[in-house]
Amino acid sequence: MSYTAQDVASLRKLTGAGMMDCKNALTESDGDIELAKEWLRKKGLAGAAKRAGRAADQGTVDVLLDGNVAALVEVNCETDFVAKGDMFTGFVADLAALVAKSGTENLETQPFKNSTVAEEITTLGATVGENVSLGRTARFETTSVVDAYKHLQAGRGFIGVLVELSDVADSEIAREVAHDIALHIASAAPRYVRREDVPADEVAKEKAVLEDITRAEGKPEAAMEKIITGRLDGFFKSICLLEQPFVKDNKQSISDVLATLGAQASVSKFTRIKIGED
């Protein structure tokens, strides 16, 4: 049995599925509307288009640490009620395990559970009745030391952090330091590892703002450069991990904490994902 454009429109109205999904359903069902509805339901596509326009600004993050591999996954949904449910958090945990094993490249097309990551996310959305989408992901693998940390809030992973140390021998102490730094990153939200990583245009913009503020305060012209330089140092201290005061002991910087592992010890990279933040 063939189908018409009107059949596609009718199926979309009945199910809320996307146009291409409705065409596929009618093709697979030989134009039978009822069979097409059942096909869409089984695929978890019924209602997907209606949900797609709703904001998915809640969700869950999960991390997995396995030796020298660390993975971080975010999956978004519409409400924290769904985000903290066992079904949702279990799904994200399973997805973190997949990322740890197989990486993030072409993640949505990777085999997962009974189909692919993308299809299972669509099915999850249909099950919970919300717009569900894959958020940010990260995976670190190193010959040095790596750590993963998840901060819980209201029963779900709210902030996830991965951190990788460099020029450090793997040891229990090094792993403890890496974990402390991951905890710090979750709390202090640095944006860069060191001041050299901050883009020049961002530095120039901040310097211009600080100059305007300093002039408005009526500071002496002879002291302007010194004052602005001092304030710019404060700017770097607020956003650069190595210069931030350690959250567990603000008399130490993160550089001081790393120095306990050796003069060359540093952080090669980190990532921080917080639900609701870009």
* pLDDT score recorded for residue 46: 64
Provide the pLDDT for residue 28.
Answer: 87
- Selection from 126, 60, 130, 125 nearest residue 95 by Cα: 60
Q: pTM above 0.85? A: no
pLDDT at 223: 87
Confidence at 40, pLDDT banded by 50, 70, 90 = confident
> How far is 73 from 155, CA to CA, in rounded Å?
16
Between 131 and 191, residue with greater pLDDT:
191
58-193+246-274 homologous superfamily: Elongation factor Ts, dimerisation domain (3.30.479.20)
Mean pLDDT (whole number) for 170-198: 97
- Return all residues near 25 (Cβ < 8 A) that are at least 6 apart: 11, 17, 36, 37, 39, 40, 43, 45
Model confidence at 43: pLDDT above 80: no
Residues of the chain with CATH 3.30.479.20: 58-193+246-274
Residue bearing tokens 């979309």 = 12
Q: Which fold has domain 5-52?
A: Helicase, Ruva Protein; domain 3 (1.10.8)
Per-residue pLDDT of 44-71, as tens digits, reads 666 665 555 566 689 999 999 999 999 9
Q: Cite the DSSP H helix spans in 157-253.
A: 172-188, 200-216, 224-239
The CATH 1.10.8.10 domain(s) of the chain lie at 5-52
**pLDDT band, residue 41 (cuts 50/70/90):** confident
Which CATH class, in words, describes the domain spanning 199-239? mainly alpha
Query: Would you give the distance in Å from CA 34 to the centre of its chain?
Result: 40
Sheet holding 69-77, edge to edge: 58-66, 69-77, 133-141
Query: At 135, is the pLDDT very low, low, confident or very high (cuts 50, 70, 90)?
Result: very high
Q: What digits encode the pLDDT tens for the residues 87-100? A: 999 999 999 999 99
Helix ranges (DSSP H) in the chain = 5-15, 19-28, 33-43, 48-52, 80-83, 86-102, 117-128, 172-188, 200-216, 224-239, 254-259
